[in-house]
A = this chain, B = another copy of it.
Amino acid sequence: MNGTLYIYNSLSRCKQPFKPLNAPHVGMYVCGPTVYGDAHLGHARPAITFDLVFRYLKHLGYKVRYVRNITDVGHLEHDADEGEDKIAKKARLENLEPMEVAQYYTNRYHAAMDKLNVLRPSIEPHASGHIIEQIAMVQKILDHGYAYVENGSVYFDIEKYNKEHPYGILSGRNFEEMLNTTRELSGQEEKHNPVDFALWKKAEPKHIMRWPSPWSDGFPGWHMECSAMGCKYLGETFDIHGGGMDLMFPHHESEIAQSVAANGKQPVTYWMHNNMITIGGQKMGKSLGNFITLDEFFNGTALQPHDHPLLHPAGPLPQHVGLQQRSPASRREGLQSPDGSREGCQGSESYRRCCFT
């Protein structure tokens, strides 16, 4: 290959020369959208970030298989293990079949990414299209003793896992700290330990999206899809896993635990995380309601600050978008964010803690 690429690896907390497992082939997995609403600026950032990585790796001469998933099932409200499926909820409100909702927003996501000149990934697998692979992986984790079945649902046993493999190596958290900070939420009675997470959930009678499994008619836990689809298309260990830093915990941390429990090896050699787009110092997020859609971004009329509740009347949007980004240096030094807030987004704070301490 021409030239050396250095990657800041979130797992090692170091900048490392990139050495693929099987050059000239490179496997890269990036967490894609949950398709229950229009893409906003927060979705554009990982797409553009890893599009640059994808293009640059190809420029260096690598043959890249880039997998970015579509989450169309299993992502529950508040990223939790209880509550309504985000897509099913939208479908209920709009009186549609959940897959109509997923298809509609998948199409709009593609159109928005095309406008951003982001290349399509090599494979774009759907979570609902890989239930068999997810069930097989849950079964392996059960067979290896790192999960348990309660009332038709399957949960990952973090305490058991943590005795043999450190849980928290990516985000820098430790098990005792998590135990002390995890809230007891209602509906979590089935878990042996409140920090455990769902691998498979038994569906309530009203739940539409359900499949048969050895444990119940149900649906996979949110973290399972990426482990199963990454493994299917890129192998048990692959080169790069990317995503927003808000996904580092619990999503990516749980992916590591699932893969180690199932396959006995680390799934990824280089973990890469992009920072967040912030609004008023807080991560821009669909569920937080503080987002600017890409349609609003592309559409000139909606870009007037006076027309958008999230924008200050100080200047046009492009200036604001630039202003929201803070460098690690400015965060390290506690500099005031140019958007006026002193707080970094939660994701940034967690990242700072694990990268710079």
Contacts and interface: CB of A to CB of B under 8 A. Distances in A.
A127 to B, nearest CB: 9
Contacts of A132: 131-132, 211-212
Interface residues on A, range: 20 to 34
Contacts of A128: 129
Given A122-B103, A212-B136, A97 B131 contact: no
Interface secondary structure of A, over-half rule: helix
A103 B126 contact: no
A28 to B, nearest CB: 13
Nearest to A108: B120
Interface in A123-161: 123-126, 128-132, 136
A103 B120 contact: yes
Chain B CB count within 10 A is highest, among A120, A129, A130, A131, for A129
Q: Shortest 4 CB-CB distances between A and B: which pairs?
A: A129-B129, A99-B123, A100-B122, A103-B123
21 contacts: A65-B97, A65-B100, A97-B122, A97-B123, A97-B233, A99-B125, A99-B233, A100-B123, A103-B120, A103-B122, A103-B124, A104-B122, A107-B120, A110-B110, A126-B126, A126-B129, A128-B129, A129-B129, A129-B130, A131-B132, A132-B211
